[in-house]
């Protein structure tokens, strides 16, 4: 179970984005998780619920998109591949490079920001 340390790192990154924008509350955090990301979405959610409060994000919603494993085939371009059979489904080439689905990707953060004039005051 390494989701806790991953979520701690995720929350720290979100906090940095919030303070860069002088943001207030964080409404939502959107991540993408693929078959080779090495994390369980359910465990990610429970780790998030457990730790969000420590980062001032009680009530922040974690949205997880489960995405397929995508690879680049030298002849066919971007293709979807099976995690247990990593090769191009069109031409069979196994010399493909994974382009997504092997990481936990922070896609976006939704925050409450003061209006520009409020900020000036």
Partner 1 sequence: MTQQTIAVGRDVRAEARQRAAELRESFTRRGILAVNLLSSPGAGKTTLLQATARHWQGRRRMAVLVGDLATDRDAQRLAPLAPTVQLTTGGACHLELPLVERGLERLGELDCEFLFIENIGNLVCPASHDLAEHLRVIVLSTTEGDDKPGKYPKAFRTSQILVINKTDLLPHVPFSIDAAVADALLIQPQLRSVAVSAHRGDAIGDWCALLEQAHSELILNGHVCHSNR
Q: Which residues sit at the interface with partner 1, rule CB under 8 A?
A: 1-2, 5-6, 9-10, 13, 17, 21, 23-24, 27, 31, 35-39, 83-87, 94-95, 97-99, 102-115, 118
Which one of partner 1, Zn ion, none is in contact with 112 (Cβ closer than 5 to 8 A by kind)? partner 1
Cβ at position 66, least distance to Zn ion in Å: 24
Contact region with Zn ion (CB under 5 A), list: 26-34, 35-43, 90-98, 112-120: 90-98
Question: To 5 degrees, how large is the angle CA 94–CA 99–CA 13?
Answer: 150
Told to check if 99 binds Zn ion by CB under 5 A, we report no
Closer to Zn ion by CB, 97 or 119: give it: 97
CA distances from 47 to 44, 86, 94, 108, 116 (A): 5, 30, 36, 19, 35
**CA dist., res. 112 & res. 121, Å (int):** 17
Which one of partner 1, Zn ion, none is in contact with 63 (Cβ closer than 5 to 8 A by kind)? none
Q: Which of 55, 1, 7, 56 lies closest to 31 in space, CA to CA?
A: 7
Told to check if 76 binds Zn ion by CB under 5 A, we report yes
Told to check if 75 binds Zn ion by CB under 5 A, we report yes
How many CA atoms within 13 Å lie on the side-chain side of 87? 6
Which one of Zn ion, partner 1, none is in contact with 2 (Cβ closer than 5 to 8 A by kind)? partner 1
**CA dist., res. 82 & res. 46, Å (int):** 27
**CA dist., res. 109 & res. 121, Å (int):** 25
């Amino acid at each position: 179970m390494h989701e806790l340390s991953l979520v701690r790192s995720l929350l720290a990154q979100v906090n940095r984005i919030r303070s860069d924008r002088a943001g207030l509350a964080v409404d939502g955090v959107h991540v993408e998780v693929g078959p080779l990301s090495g994390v369980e979405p359910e465990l990610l959610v429970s780790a998030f619920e457990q730790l969000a409060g420590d980062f001032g994000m009680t009530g922040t919603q974690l949205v997880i998109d489960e995405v397929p494993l995508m690879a680049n085939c030298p002849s066919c371009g971007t293709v979807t591949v099976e995690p247990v059979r990593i090769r191009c489904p069109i031409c069979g080439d196994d010399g493909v490079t994974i382009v997504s689905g092997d990481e936990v990707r922070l896609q976006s953060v939704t925050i409450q920001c003061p209006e520009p004039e409020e900020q000036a005051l």
